[in-house]
Homo-oligomer: A and B are copies of this chain.
Amino acid sequence: MIRKTRLFTPGPTPLLPAAQFAMAAADIHHRTPEFRAMYTRVLAQLKEFVGTKNDVIILSSSGTGAMEASVSNLTSPGDRVLVLTAGKFGERWTALAKAFGCEVDVVSAPYGQTFSLDQIKAALKLETRVVFMQSSETSTGVRHCVPAVAELLKDTHSEALLVVDAITGLGTTHLDMDALGVDVLIGGSQKAVMIPPGLSYLAVSQRAWDRMEASYNPRYYFDLRKERKNAKLGESAYTPAVALIAALAAALDWIAAQADGDLAAGRKKLIENAETVSAMTRAAVQALGMTLFAPDAPSAAATAVLPPVGVDSGVIVKELKSRFGAIITNGQGEMKGQIFRIAHLGFFDFMDTIAIIGALEQVVAKSLPSPGFAFGNGLIAAQKVFAERSAAAAAESPCLCGRTDACCSLKHADVGASATLVGAK
Contacts and interface: CB of A to CB of B under 8 A. Distances in A.
A354 interface: yes
Interface stretch (A84-92, A154-162, A374-382): A374-382
A354 B352 contact: no
A231 to B, nearest CB: 30
Nearest to A379: B379
Nearest to A389: B1
A384 B375 contact: yes
Q: How large is the interface on A (under 10, 10 to 19, 20 to 34, 35 or more residues)?
A: 35 or more
Interface in A382-425: 382-384, 386-387, 390
Interface in A332-364: 347-352, 354-356, 358-359, 361-362
Contacts of A259: none
User: Which of A348, A374, A380, A382 has the most chain B CB atoms inside 10 A of its CB?
Assistant: A380
Interface of A: 1-4, 6, 24, 258, 270, 272-273, 276, 324-326, 347-352, 354-356, 358-359, 361-362, 365-366, 374-376, 379-380, 382-384, 386-387, 390
User: Which of A4, A347, A350, A366 has the most chain B CB atoms inside 10 A of its CB?
Assistant: A350
12 contacts: A1-B273, A1-B276, A2-B270, A2-B348, A6-B351, A24-B24, A324-B349, A325-B351, A354-B354, A375-B379, A376-B383, A379-B379
Nearest to A354: B358
Nearest to A194: B2
Contacts of A354: 354-355, 358-359, 379
B384 A380 contact: no
Contact of A325 (B2, B349, B358, B382): B349
B349 A362 contact: no
Contacts of A379: 354, 358, 375-376, 379-380, 383
Nearest to A4: B349
Given A3-B349, A324-B349, A347-B4, A383 B355 contact: no
A348 B2 CA distance: 7
Closest 7 CB pairs of A and B: A354-B358, A351-B355, A376-B380, A375-B383, A376-B376, A355-B355, A2-B349
